[in-house]
A and B are shown apart, each in its own frame.
Chain A
Amino acid sequence: MSVISQNFGIERVLRELSAAWAIARKDMRTYYLKPNIIVSGILFPLFMFLAFAIGKNAPPGTLIPGLIAITLLFSASSIEPVSIPIERRVKTFDRLLSAPISLHSLVFGESLSGFLYSLGIACLPLVIGVILFSTSIVYALTLVVAMALTAFCFATLGTLFAAYPTENVGEVMSMLNTVRLPLIFISGVFIPISAMPQIGQEIAFFSPLTYGNDMIEYAYTGTSLFSPLLDILALLIFILIFQFVANRLYKKFNT
């Protein structure tokens, strides 16, 4: 490969990344404070968690990893299912589709905004755990990696569902919730995977939340069902699958 084409390739990648970052920043400014995103991304996981935690006799501090996991799931996957149908309705999505950027950058940029939102929101239970319940973190770096991968995985899942060609936020949210809600019950967040029936344990392997939750649990307690490396690998595979499928769906439905 010649130096010129190498430079052209790098320049092109930088341009695409810059455009993806612009899309993410636009979403931050425009959608982070929308009421339906606050409800779906912050209040919904909080109340869901309280509903399960109140009946348990476990010390509150031990519930923090689970709260972080479901916060990441709900907040990361809530931005695009709201923003993209709205943008379709007001036709600003046509701007993105007609810009000189690839669909990969569009999907990546949209996912990036959900990712950053989710990381910010998930810091709340983390800080509450440390300050109020003195919940100790055994492996801080592992926690950062786990949160980042889980957040990006679910942000991409939200972007994927938002590919469905509708201008109605409720339609996308309904479809997404048929996937998100069962994930909570089959991924070891409230019920340990080892305590689930055989069929439940087998289904759990197909849930990205299983690996995210497992790795967060490891970062807090030092014990986990799988090796953290396996969790990382599984989450990366889910991210690649979701990104690939999202790209195909945007191409199919939006062009």
Chain B
Amino acid sequence: MFAIEVNDLTKIFGTLVAINKLNFSVNEGETFGFLGPNGAGKTTTIRILTGITQPTSGTAKIFGYDIQNEIISARQSIGIVHETSNVYDDLTAWQNMIFTAELYHVNKAEREKKSKELLEIFGLFERKDNKAHEFSKGMKRRLTLAMGLVNSPKLLFLDEPTSGLDVQSNLIIRDVVADLTQKGVTVFLTTHNIEEANVMCDRVAIINKGQIAAIDAPEQLKKTIESVQSVEVAFDKRGLEQMDELRKLPFVNEARKEGDKIKLYTEDPSAIIEEVMTYAKQKNLKIISISTLGPSLEDVFIKLTGLKARVGAAYVSD
């Protein structure tokens, strides 16, 4: 049996097709990533799978339970961590945990044991009697995740779990998710963070404009565009003109700035290296580092979604 089975799932808001005939399945114990830019349909998919929103057409099953006719049975075995840290600010961390456990029908002894255990794991037990409005953004996120786990779910939905978090919270959350997958919990994760999907997921679905562009393991996805290779170079001096000049070199398909490095896309890395050496000599530049790279998940994502320019962490459509 699949943990999640989705067939032709469609949601239309007015004239906007939020998701269009999605088809995919998630195996039990798998960490499945939904990777896409903002507005791609990731959160809509989670809202439908958890029964908050009704689909316009299509079907979905959670552990064999139909989400439209048997949603209460399906919800009993799932945990949900929403995109927003939706904790009750006027309740203490402990009260938030206990209330969530009560909603999921966890018995009294178990909810107290589980709440204590989870607050300890997330580093919040010493603050259990503090109201949530006293917590930082990272602490609220950790509390949200702890609340999502209080019913010991077999399937955990994580909507952008580490978006905008501090390093400590980010690491704790990634560790906990890794631990859950070790214990056989199925994780359905949405993210626009490519590295997060690459590191955490067994399989990734790339979704754009409500449609799935590809589903596979991150390494398999990279293989699909193996012709896209690159050379990354860093010079001792940086100038605005370097990008334009390097872009004009023979064999360079595209050039992008990556921090203090320049990434040159090519089908012939060895030829590019020679061209770069000659360029450096002509311009009296010292090469600090140069390396050849295979395609990254980001390259796959850009190729499959047709998104190109990168502004900060967001991708911009053509």
Name A's B-contacting residues (CB within 8 A).
15, 18-19, 22-23, 25-26, 29-30, 90-92, 94-102, 254-255
CB contact between A95 and one of B51, B73, B100 (< 8 Å): that residue: B100
- Of all chain B residues, which has the CB nearest A14? B105
Contact across chains for B104 and A91 when beta carbons are under 8 A apart: no
* Interface size band for B: 20 to 34
B213 within 8 A of A: no
B135 beta carbon closer than 8 Å to chain A: no
Q: Is the CB of A101 within 8 A of B86?
A: no
Alpha-carbon distance A100/B150, docked complex (angstroms) = 13
Mark interface residues in B92-121 (1 if CB within 8 Å of A CB, else 0).
Answer: 000100011011110000000000000000
Q: Is the pair B80, A98 in contact by a Cβ cutoff of 8 Å?
A: yes
A100 touches B72 (CB 8 A): yes
Tell whether, in the assembled complex, residue A101 and residue B50 are in contact, meaning their CB atoms are under 8 Å apart: no
**Does B52 sit at the interface, judged by CB under 8 A?**
yes
A-B contact pairs, 18 of them (CB 8 A): A18-B105, A22-B99, A29-B91, A29-B95, A30-B90, A90-B84, A90-B86, A90-B89, A92-B86, A95-B86, A95-B100, A96-B103, A97-B51, A98-B50, A100-B104, A101-B103, A102-B72, A255-B51
Cβ distance A83 to chain B, nearest Cβ, rounded Å? 11
Please give the distance in Å from A110's CB to the nearest CB on chain B. 13
Excluding A92-B87, A100-B105, 11 further A-B contacts by CB distance (< 8 Å) are: A18-B105, A30-B91, A91-B82, A95-B82, A95-B100, A97-B51, A98-B80, A99-B75, A100-B72, A100-B73, A101-B103
Q: Tell me, rounded to whole Å, the shortest Cβ–Cβ distance linking A95 to chain B.
A: 6
Contacts of B51 in A (CB 8 A): 97-98, 255
Contacts of A97 in B (CB 8 A): 51-52
A212 vs B95: C-alpha distance when bound (angstroms): 36
Interface on B for A, CB 8 Å cutoff? 50-54, 72-73, 75-76, 80, 82, 84, 86-91, 95, 99-100, 102-105
Q: Are A91 and B103 interface neighbours, CB within 8 A?
A: no
Say yes or no: A19 contacts B102, CB within 8 Å.
yes
Most chain B CB neighbours (cut-off 10 Å) among A25, A94, A98, A101: A98
Please measure, in the bound complex, the distance between the C-alpha atom of A29 and the C-alpha atom of B95, giving whole angstroms: 10
Return chain B residues, CB-CB under 8 Å to A96: 103
**Cα–Cα distance between A30 and B75 once the two chains are bound (Å):** 25
Residues of A within 8 A of B105 (CB): 15, 18-19, 100
Determine whether the beta carbon of A255 is less than 8 Å from that of B99: no
Among A30, A98, A99, A254, which residue has its beta carbon within 8 angstroms of that of B88? A30
Inter-chain contact A94/B99, CB cutoff 8 Å: no
Whether A100 pairs with B91 at a CB distance below 8 angstroms is no
- Closest CB pairs A-B (n = 8): A22-B102, A100-B75, A91-B86, A99-B103, A91-B84, A100-B76, A30-B90, A98-B50
Q: How far is the CA of A42 from the CA of B72 in the complex (A)?
A: 38
CB distance from A114 to the nearest CB of B (A): 17
Which chain B residues lie closer than 8 Å to A94 at the CB level? 52, 82, 86
Docked Cα-Cα span, A12 to B36, in Å, equals 39
Which residues of A lie under 8 Å from residue B95 when comparing CB positions?
Answer: 29
Residues of A within 8 A of B104 (CB): 99-100
A25 to B96, CA, bound (A): 12
User: Given that A91-B84, A100-B76 are known contacts, is A29 also in contact with B90, CB under 8 Å in the complex?
Assistant: yes
B82 and A101 contacting across the interface, CB-CB below 8 Å: no
Complex Cα distance, B51 from A101, in Å, reads: 11
Hey, which chain A residues are within 8 Å of B100, CB to CB? 95
Smallest Cβ distance from B132 to chain A, in angstroms? 10
> How long is the Cα–Cα vector from A38 to B84 in the complex, in angstroms?
29
List residues of chain B with CB within 8 A of the CB of A23.
103
A102 to B84, CA, bound (A): 23
